[in-house]
Amino acid sequence: MTPIIKGLSRRGENFILVHAGQHYDYNLSLQFIDELNLPQPNYSFKLLNQNPASQTAEMMMKLEKIVLKSKTDLLLIQGDTNTTLAAALVGFKQKVPVAHIEAGLRSYDMRMQEEHNRRMIDHASKYLFAPTEISKENLLRENVWGEIHVTGNTVVDALTQYFHLVDKRGLVMEKVKFNDFALATVHRAENVDSPEVLQSIVDAFIDSPLPVVIPLHPRTRKKLKQFNLWEKISSCGSIQVLPPLGYLEFIYLMKKCKIILTDSGGLQEEATVPLIRKKVIVLRNSTERPEAVKAGFAKIAGLKKENILKCLNEALNDRTPLPKESPFGDGRASERIIKVILKEQRFNFLKS
């Protein structure tokens, strides 16, 4: 969302920035505001609830007060988090138009909370900013009532705009003890909440042909300890666990790594940006970013150790050059989005 914030600020437009508090870890949350030189939020929540249903309800109650107090004309939201769902429902109930950035993504995996969230958000939105034609087709098939605009994804904008700062975060490599390595992230509930799935992923990392560097999500660390897997992963000489990293440090590791293993959606997009151009092994049974698979950047490995290692070895041995352009846009998505929303008089911007 940073390119949207920056674009509105450059134009002198008034907007309210709400930090909804869904991520409670500093490195996963407020650090991004600091290092990307964003304005401090007008409102920032500290949530009492971590249960998804209670958390969403708490955010709705707090967001509703802001919407009513500020007489909001437009709610601008992004993604598929509980924050975004809470905002969309508040807008819908208070008859405030909702503009959804990253609309139309579908994994068709109903085990994912995000899949439920994004479907409800899209059907509550007046403006749907679809990153690709595939996303647009998904929305048309579902007969959404809002206006659909194909814009590209602001993820590409953000990485392109901030890449010149990445080398300044090269000190992170002093923490990494390997020259050649795979960069891995695991955080999705359907993966880390299952002891069988999490163990399969850990075993694949241990047997990886490349050393694995893992900036570890706090929730994943908690589950590794709960399922008696922490000692197994922390004592493995070919695995290095790092604390959560800031945006620029993480992009630097993406630039330096040989390949990426992840269950993240955003990383599948970032890896396709020309400044990165890395192959991604998707640690899931499906993806809402089929464009990355079609372009040759991503390969869906599933969740079994043998399949993960097979896909990893195949990708490392494949010398086919990757495309020079990203299937997720040309870095001008934010310009297209702002052009549409400037039809409205005021903005209420929400960040998860």
> What pLDDT score does 111 carry?
86
Domain containing 266 equals: 169-317
Instruction: Write out the chain's pLDDT in tens, 352 residues.
Output: 999 999 999 999 989 999 887 766 655 667 788 888 899 999 988 888 888 899 999 999 999 999 999 999 999 999 999 999 999 999 999 999 999 999 999 999 998 899 999 999 999 999 999 999 999 999 999 999 999 999 999 999 999 999 988 887 777 888 899 999 999 999 998 999 999 999 999 999 999 999 999 999 888 999 999 999 999 999 999 999 999 888 899 999 999 999 999 999 999 999 999 999 999 999 999 999 999 999 999 999 999 999 999 999 999 999 999 999 999 999 999 999 999 998 865 555 554 4
Which residues pair with residue 212 across a beta bridge? 182, 239
145 and 266 in a single domain? The answer is: no
Is 187 assigned a catalytic role?
Answer: yes
Q: Residue 324 class from Cβ within 10 Å (0-12 exposed, 13-18 middle, 19+ buried)?
A: exposed
Residue 159 lies inside a defined structural domain of this protein: no
Q: Residue 78: helix, strand or coil by DSSP?
A: strand
What CA–CA distance (Å, rounded) separates 331 from 315? 27
> What pLDDT score does 25 carry?
62
Q: What is the DSSP string of 100-136?
A: EETTT-----TT-HHHHHHHHHHHT-SEEEESSHHHH
Residue 81 lies inside a defined structural domain of this protein: yes
Residue 57 lies inside a defined structural domain of this protein: yes
233 and 308 in a single domain? The answer is: yes
- Domain count of the fold of the chain: 2
Name the DSSP letter for residue 167: G
> What pLDDT score does 33 carry?
84
131 and 198 in a single domain? The answer is: no
Q: List C-alpha distances in Å: 219 to 5, 24, 205, 338.
A: 29, 11, 18, 35
Residue 20 lies inside a defined structural domain of this protein: yes
What CA–CA distance (Å, rounded) separates 281 from 293? 10
179 and 213 in a single domain? The answer is: yes
234 and 269 in a single domain? The answer is: yes
> What pLDDT score does 317 carry?
97
> What pLDDT score does 352 carry?
42
Residue 145 lies inside a defined structural domain of this protein: yes
Q: Which H or E run includes 15?
A: strand 15-19
Catalytic residue, from 116, 123, 187, 217: name it. Answer: 187
